[in-house]
Amino acid sequence: MSVLDSIIEGVREDLAARRLPMSQLLEAIEVAPPVRDCLAALLTDNISVIAEVKRSSPSKGALAPITDPAGLAASYEEAGAAVISVLTEQRRFGGTLGDLDAVRKAVELPILRKDFMVDEYQFYEARAHGADVILLIVAALSKNQLDDYFHLSKELGMRALIEVHTPGELESALEISPEIIGVNSRNLKTLDVDAQAFAQLIPQIPSTIARVAESGISTRADVEFAQEHGATAILVGEALVRSGNSNVAMAQLLGRLGQ
């Protein structure tokens, strides 16, 4: 079993334990905050940042305790993030839907629910908790699921970040006419990181699509490498949560120190 398969197995078990009647979710969606659109912010000429609330990861283990996810998200907003990403997967990433709720109350920015979306229920759940964007990992889904979940996201008013790691996955992603594609330099099946994925895949994505470089970004040089190959945004978690000062860390990544 690959790392990705193991994570998805846990996600399904946890989902079964917390699943509520659909009627409750639909009622919650009725009173949820309006969707905040992120697309324009991820397609600017200047590279933008999706800043992540992330306690741990399968590859690195514990990163930061993050006792106040709302405060961290507010500091990201102050530092100039375009979108806040909130991990809600609990077993490997230490996240919860409670984190999403807290962050939603604290910031005005669009929020990405970062999880392994493998069941229709999770999309209604995301919107009920105030998410504006969801993640679709091509490696975790069949082509039919990818298409169905993409359209379900749109029906619920949310954008979808379509994540790819290989040329074949990018081909599948482009077939559904996405607005946002994330190229993950980390192979979720092995956890190996290869920044050449940015160089190989991002140039193949049409310029009308927001192009997000994900994983392995911790220095200004990493950001420049992604941007040189066409990235319009970066998704960063570890470098920010470990920094101790997200304002300074983000300024360093964006080359703003001393300006």
Which residues are part of the catalytic machinery?
52, 54, 114, 163, 184, 214-215
Q: Where are the beta strands (DSSP E) in 15-72?
A: 48-53, 56-57, 61-62
| Three-state SS at 132 | coil
Farthest CA pair distance, the chain: 53
Residue 135 bridge partners (DSSP) = 161
User: What is the C-alpha to C-alpha distance for residues 69 and 88, in angstroms, rounded to an integer?
Assistant: 12
CB 154 within 8 A of CB 141: no
| Three-state SS at 233 | strand
CB 212 within 8 A of CB 232: yes
> How many residues belong to the chain?
259
In single-letter form, the type of residue at position 51 comes to A
User: What is the C-alpha to C-alpha distance for residues 45 and 82, in angstroms, rounded to an integer?
Assistant: 13
Residue 112 bridge partners (DSSP) = 85, 133
- Phi/psi of residue 186, nearest 5 degrees: -100, 130
Residue 111 bridge partners (DSSP) = 84
From 29, 27, 23, 26, select the one nearest 127 (Cα to Cα). Answer: 29
User: What is the C-alpha to C-alpha distance for residues 219 and 8, in angstroms, rounded to an integer?
Assistant: 30
